Amino acid sequence: MTNKLQIAEKSSKFSPAIVAFIYLSIALVALSFAAIFIRLCEQEIEPNATVFNRLWIASLVFWLWNSIKRTDNKQVIQQKKKQFPDTKRELLLLLLVGIISSSSVICWAWSLTQTSVANSTILRNLCPIFTSLGAWLFLNQRFDRRFIMGMILAILGAIAIGWDDLQIGKAYLIGDTVALLAALFYAINLLILEHLRPNYTAATLLLWRCSVGTIFLLPIVLLTEDIIFPYSWQGWIMVISLAVVCQAFGQGLLVHSLNRFSSGFIAVFLLLEPVITAYLAWLIFAESLSLFNECAFVLVLGGIYLAKSSQSADKIEKIN
């Protein structure tokens, strides 16, 4: 996947930055289908079982892809990328990224049972703050004023999406805290992936992340769920679509884009995900969209434009 994408970038009439932005946009659309597929999957299985099936199926996809790549010795030599960690620190980070990313999804799913959907969405959209702060503290990245203004504008737009349904009270404190924890975990996941990306292909990183996540979730699913797998062919189609379209294709392009864009910008760009999901829900489930939602969409786009036009969005050194 990674090599073919890089060849496409070099042979394209557009600049590598534009091609990378197109890939990131495609990843965003693919990831926006996640909520739709999850909603359809949960007609047969619970959230934890849905995540578990999503991860083990995606693990098979990435294992197959890496196996095919290893048969091409010339490609392996040219890439100079590792399949396995050669230090304890890298092994720890690879294990951690699988546990952290799975924990983020679990926390988000559980928060939806303890607080309102609007509260959970708003708090989860604070992820760019944690990502940018972590990149500044641990990856020595600097963000200029234009990027920070764009990030704030995009976050305000994302918050505005669920503002009409926002509920404040002590009864929602636990759920709100868990939703905020989900945002923190996802930010840590992006930062670890960005740190490891120079030494591993996107497919290898995601193979590790999905495999570790599958092992991590297995005992949780066995203890908490009565039904682990879908019981109809329609349910299996939804689960497989979730794994292939969102986890393999969407996350694959997302991690690949870390060779061009900073994790901070990617976190800001992903604020468009709930907006696109809302439009998909409008098309598929006939859910309503208000004028306020439309204005929030414009606000998010404006913030992303500011962040993208900043020098902080692109990396100085590109990963081959």
- 104-156 pLDDT, tens digit each: 888 877 776 776 665 666 677 788 888 888 888 888 888 888 888 888 888 88
Q: Quick one: pLDDT at residue 165?
A: 55
In terms of DSSP H, where are the helices of 197-257? Answer: 202-224, 233-241, 251-256
Q: Which long-range contacts (CB under 8 A, 24 or more apart) does 90-93 make?
A: 90/196, 90/199, 93/192, 93/195, 93/196
CB-CB contact of 216 with 99 (8 Å) = yes
Q: pLDDT averaged over the chain?
A: 82
What's the angle, vertex CA 151, arms to CA 293 and CA 120, rounded to 5?
55
Residue 96 CA neighbour count, 13 Å, CB half? 17
In eight-state DSSP terms, residue 201 is -
- pLDDT at residue 233 above 70? yes
Question: What would the pLDDT profile of 33-84 be if each residue is shown by its tens digit?
Answer: 887 888 788 889 888 898 999 999 999 999 998 887 776 655 544 456 777 8
The pLDDT score that the predictor gives to residue 73 is 52
SS3 87: coil
Tokens (6 digits) for 153: 């504008």
How far, in whole angstroms, is CA 73 from its chain's centroid? 31
Q: What angle do CA 291, 303, 275 make, to 5 degrees?
A: 45
Rounded to two decimals, what is the model's pTM?
0.81
Whether 58 and 208 have beta carbons less than 8 Å apart is answered as no
| Angle (nearest 5°) at CA 59 between 53 and 62 | 140
The pLDDT score that the predictor gives to residue 237 is 95
Q: Is the pLDDT reported for residue 163 higher than 70?
A: no
Give me the amino acid identity at 42.
Answer: E
263: Cβ contacts below 8 Å, ≥ 6 apart = 131, 135, 139, 190, 191, 193, 194
Average pLDDT over residues 276-295: 75
CA distance between the termini of the chain: 13
pLDDT at position 91 over 60: yes
